[in-house]
């Protein structure tokens, strides 16, 4: 389902010994088969294909041109599921060769702006420019339904003109069906089960992580959280664990830290440090641990190695992870 120029390796990350590829069932491959179209490799997706694409791996409100806002795409067979919709999500979808109009299911971890700011573009462009003809369904914490209703109110003029006056676009495609969710199974269709579980993002409550199960394989997405025993419980037996991280050492080394100590320590306290994340990975023992909503730095990887020696992949936009008998990591060729 994902198109783009890729080269693939197994768990390629800083300081990761190559022998982990055979021990953990994570393998190196090349670009493999696929036809070329417009300079992109068009990959065919078998019915049992299960893959995760890190669309945006950046964290926080600041603009980052190397790591866009938080967003992860999960593809299970022919089904697509988008988790969070941070800055640049629609651009990254386009780069990955995924039509924006093909996204009709969105799951939100929490309602911080850096996780939701691109939703209006997904709603409107997916319809007016992407050909979506079915409702967009959205799951998220309390407040999701109100937020989605107000987005449609904010763009009422554009929706009215395109639907009723000018292009006469189908009304179903701009319809949004929203769900304020609680912990538990929130989607169970087409052989795909999505389970929401509570995580601990400090005062930002409720905040969720998600587990996606498909044909005997699974991925867990942490969302924003400090160390969460509930996440560890829901992540047991998972193939791939995608977890957030904050580099507390780097934050405390900033020149602005002394004057903003209280605020910065509060931010650190709402997230997971690399050493803590390593402890989580060691307890969960996924086939592959992956960082997202995280700094892409050697320092983060080095700190993680103090508490975790298993397969580890750093944050990287447009990284694709294929989950099956083997776990394959494909890097997007820019």
pTM exceeding 0.85: yes
- Mean pLDDT value across the chain: 89
* Cα torsion 323, 324, 326, 332: sign: negative
* Distance (Å) of CA 252 to CA 62, 121, 267: 18, 35, 11
Could you tell me if 179 and 145 are in contact, meaning their C-beta atoms sit under 8 angstroms apart?
Answer: yes
What 3 state SS string does 56-86 have? ECCCCCCCCCCCCCCEEEEEECCEEEEECCC
Q: pLDDT tens digit string along 113-127?
A: 999 999 999 999 999
CA dist., res. 276 & res. 227, Å (int): 7
Residue 317 annotated in active site: no
CA dist., res. 173 & res. 121, Å (int): 13
CA dist., res. 289 & res. 311, Å (int): 6
Q: Which of 193, 231, 209 is nearest to 141 (CA)?
A: 209
Query: Above pLDDT 70, what percent of the chain?
Result: 86
Could you tell me if 8 and 27 are in contact, meaning their C-beta atoms sit under 8 angstroms apart?
Answer: no
pLDDT grade for 239, boundaries at 50, 70 and 90? very high
What domains are there in the chain, each with its CATH number? 6-332 (3.60.15.10)
What 3 state SS string does 32-60 have? CCCEEECCEEECCCCCCCEEEEEEECCCC
Beta strands (DSSP E) in the chain are: 6-9, 26-27, 35-37, 40-42, 50-56, 71-76, 79-83, 105-107, 136-140, 176-180, 184-189, 192-199, 207-214, 217-221, 240-243, 288-291, 312-313, 319-323, 327-332
Whether the predicted pLDDT of 24 surpasses 80: no
Could you tell me if 72 and 103 are in contact, meaning their C-beta atoms sit under 8 angstroms apart?
Answer: no
- Say which of 30, 84, 114, 180 is annotated catalytic: 114
pLDDT of residue 169: 97
DSSP per-residue letters across 108-138: -S---HHHHTTHHHHHHHHHHTT---SPEEE
What crossing angle do the helices spanning 144-154 and 119-128 adopt, rounded to 10°? 50
pLDDT of residue 43: 44
Could you tell me if 191 and 77 are in contact, meaning their C-beta atoms sit under 8 angstroms apart?
Answer: yes
Query: Per the structure block, which two tokens stand in for 37?
Result: 């179209």
For residue 77, what are the β-bridge partners?
none
Q: pLDDT tens digit string along 279-305?
A: 999 999 999 999 999 999 999 999 999
CA dist., res. 103 & res. 132, Å (int): 8
Half-sphere exposure of 313 (CA within 13 A, CB side): 33
Query: Per the structure block, which two tokens stand in for 2?
Result: 């994902």
pLDDT grade for 333, boundaries at 50, 70 and 90? confident
Query: Mean pLDDT lowest for which of 4-13, 116-125, 213-222, 269-278?
Result: 4-13
């Amino acid at each position: 389902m994902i198109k783009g120029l890729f080269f693939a390796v197994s768990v390629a990350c800083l300081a990761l010994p190559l022998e982990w590829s055979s021990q953990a069932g994570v393998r190196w491959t090349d670009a493999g088969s696929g036809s070329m179209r417009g300079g992109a490799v068009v990959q065919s997706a078998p019915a049992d294909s299960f893959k995760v694409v890190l669309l945006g791996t950046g964290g926080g409100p600041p603009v980052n041109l190397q790591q866009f806002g938080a967003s992860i795409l999960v593809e299970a067979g022919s089904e697509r599921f988008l988790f969070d919709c941070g800055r640049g999500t629609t651009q990254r979808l386009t780069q990955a060769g995924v039509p924006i109009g093909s996204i009709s299911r969105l799951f939100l971890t929490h309602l911080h702006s850096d996780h939701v700011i691109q939703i209006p573009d997904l709603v409107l462009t997916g319809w007016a420019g992407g050909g979506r003809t079915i409702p967009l369904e959205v799951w998220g914490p309390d407040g999701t339904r109100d937020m989605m209703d107000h987005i449609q109110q904010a763009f009422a003029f554009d929706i009215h003109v395109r639907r009723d006056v000018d292009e006469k676009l189908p009304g179903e495609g701009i319809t949004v069906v929203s769900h304020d969710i609680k912990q538990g199974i929130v989607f169970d269709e087409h052989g795909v089960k999505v389970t929401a579980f509570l995580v601990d993002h400090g005062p930002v409550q409720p905040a969720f992580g998600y587990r996606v199960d498909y044909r005997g394989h699974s991925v867990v997405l942490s969302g924003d959280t400090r160390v969460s025993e509930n996440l560890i419980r829901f992540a047991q037996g998972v193939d791939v664990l995608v977890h957030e991280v904050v580099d507390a050492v780097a934050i405390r080394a900033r020149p602005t830290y002394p004057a903003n100590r209280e605020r910065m320590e509060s931010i650190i306290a709402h997230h997971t440090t690399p050493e803590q994340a390593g402890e989580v990975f060691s307890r969960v023992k996924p086939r592959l641990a992956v960082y997202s909503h995280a700094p892409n730095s050697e320092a983060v990887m080095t700190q993680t190695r103090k508490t975790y020696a298993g397969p580890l992949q750093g944050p990287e936009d447009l990284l694709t992870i294929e989950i099956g008998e083997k776990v394959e990591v494909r890097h997007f060729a820019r």
